[in-house]
Amino acid sequence: MDTLPLLPGPPPLLVPDPRARDVVLDYAGMDALVAGLVVPGDASMYVISVLETSRELIRHSYYRYEFATVAVTHSLVALEHVLAGRLAVNEPVQDLIGRAADAGLIPVGLAAELDRGRALRDKLTQGTVTSAALGPVRAVTMVQAVFDAVSLLLHPPAAAGVTAAETNGVQPGSGGTPPEDQLARLWEEHRHAPYPDSFRGIDIEGVELSLLDSDVAGLVQGELNGGLDDSGIAMLWACIADLDKVLPLINSEYCARYFARLRTMARLAAARHIPTAT
């Protein structure tokens, strides 16, 4: 394999891109610019990787202005992946955005912003614009739209305060995955996720996290293996209350994702026992 020869001496210092001078005073100012780009806690590792890379591309556009445009186009990879999974169809991203808006999964205004990102990617492919098409500030707005859409798609009503009508099958009009399939998929993902070692034996607001993890895991497995009895359902709701209490206080990104997924599973399992409205 051919490799480039090592250059003698220390590596060259990074020089700010002069086009970024009107955006922030220094590189530290980029932290505030991207601070709102928070990755949804229970996204898959694939989606997390894409979204985090998009955020860091904007941060480093301080040194290379074109990174801002690349950040927008790269974020669409995560959007397309999540849309295809949520809608259970494989179509161009433009059609997926339209389907999601028509189904009420994302607001129309948000869909329009997402489509502007898609149009930018198409123009780059066609050669009608360059990678310097937009700056960091506009890139943050467009990438924020992707973050917001992914969060909405990963947190349907079934996962964040389920309605009774949605517990009997596919969310109305969504074309998405039935809650029981979501639960099985999340459980399989959770079984292979390592527990955050630095939080073993940690107690937050009187809740021991490792014990909460094992309790919810046992209850979810019981639900999948035949269903919970009344005492199990009551215990599940108590666990959900504990998860709601501790999640905002967890300051580790991985641990927050781990327990956010646990909360989603708990709510999906509990949703099966909400009486159907008549």
DSSP string, 106-142: S-HHHHHHHHHHHHHHHHHHHTSS-TTSS-HHHHHHH
Give the per-residue pLDDT at 71.
97
Query: What is the pairing mode between strands 207-208 and 203-204?
Result: antiparallel
Q: Which of 175, 187, 140 is nearest to 37 (CA)?
A: 140
Question: Of all residues in the chain, what percent carry a pLDDT higher than 90?
Answer: 38
Note whether 40 and 150 are within 8 A (CB): yes
Give the per-residue pLDDT at 214.
93
pLDDT-derived band at 8, boundaries 50, 70, 90:
low
Model confidence at 175: pLDDT above 50: no
Please report, in angstroms and rounded to a whole number, the separation of the first and last CA atoms in the chain.
69
**Max Cα-Cα span within the chain:** 77
Rounded alpha-carbon distances, angstroms, from residue 77 to 28, 63, 87, 125, 230: 28, 24, 16, 15, 43
Q: Which of 259, 159, 157, 149 is nearest to 213 (CA)?
A: 259
Report the C-alpha gap between 7 and 35 in whole angstroms: 36
Model confidence at 187: pLDDT above 90: no
Average pLDDT over residues 243-254: 83
Q: Which residue has the tokens 């999964």?
A: 105
Report the C-alpha gap between 214 and 207 in whole angstroms: 12
In sequence order, the 6+-apart residues with CB closer than 8 A to the CB of 56 are none
pLDDT-derived band at 101, boundaries 50, 70, 90:
confident
pLDDT-derived band at 208, boundaries 50, 70, 90:
very high
Model confidence at 156: pLDDT above 90: no
Note whether 51 and 75 are within 8 A (CB): yes
Question: Of all residues in the chain, what percent carry a pLDDT higher than 70?
Answer: 85
Report the C-alpha gap between 265 and 242 in whole angstroms: 14
Average pLDDT over residues 160-188: 52
Model confidence at 164: pLDDT above 60: no
Give the per-residue pLDDT at 9.
64
Cα angle for residues 33, 34, 37 (degrees, 5° grid)? 145
User: What confidence tens digit (pLDDT) does each residue in 30-62 have?
Assistant: 998 888 888 887 788 999 999 999 999 999 999
Beta bridge pairs of residue 204: 207
Average pLDDT over residues 146-163: 68
pLDDT-derived band at 110, boundaries 50, 70, 90:
confident
Give the per-residue pLDDT at 5.
66
Report the C-alpha gap between 155 and 93 in whole angstroms: 20
Give the per-residue pLDDT at 196.
84
Report the C-alpha gap between 101 and 171 in whole angstroms: 14
Give the per-residue pLDDT at 176.
47
Of the candidate ranges 1-5, 9-13, 144-148, the one whose mean pLDDT is the lowest: 1-5
Report the C-alpha gap between 246 and 139 in whole angstroms: 33
pLDDT-derived band at 178, boundaries 50, 70, 90:
low
Mean pLDDT, all residues of the chain: 83
User: Which conformational region is residue 63 in: left (phi greater than 0), alpha (psi within -120 to 50 degrees), or beta?
Assistant: alpha
Report the C-alpha gap between 35 and 8 in whole angstroms: 37
Give the per-residue pLDDT at 226.
85
Report the C-alpha gap between 85 and 66 in whole angstroms: 30
Model confidence at 168: pLDDT above 50: no
Report the C-alpha gap between 273 and 275 in whole angstroms: 6
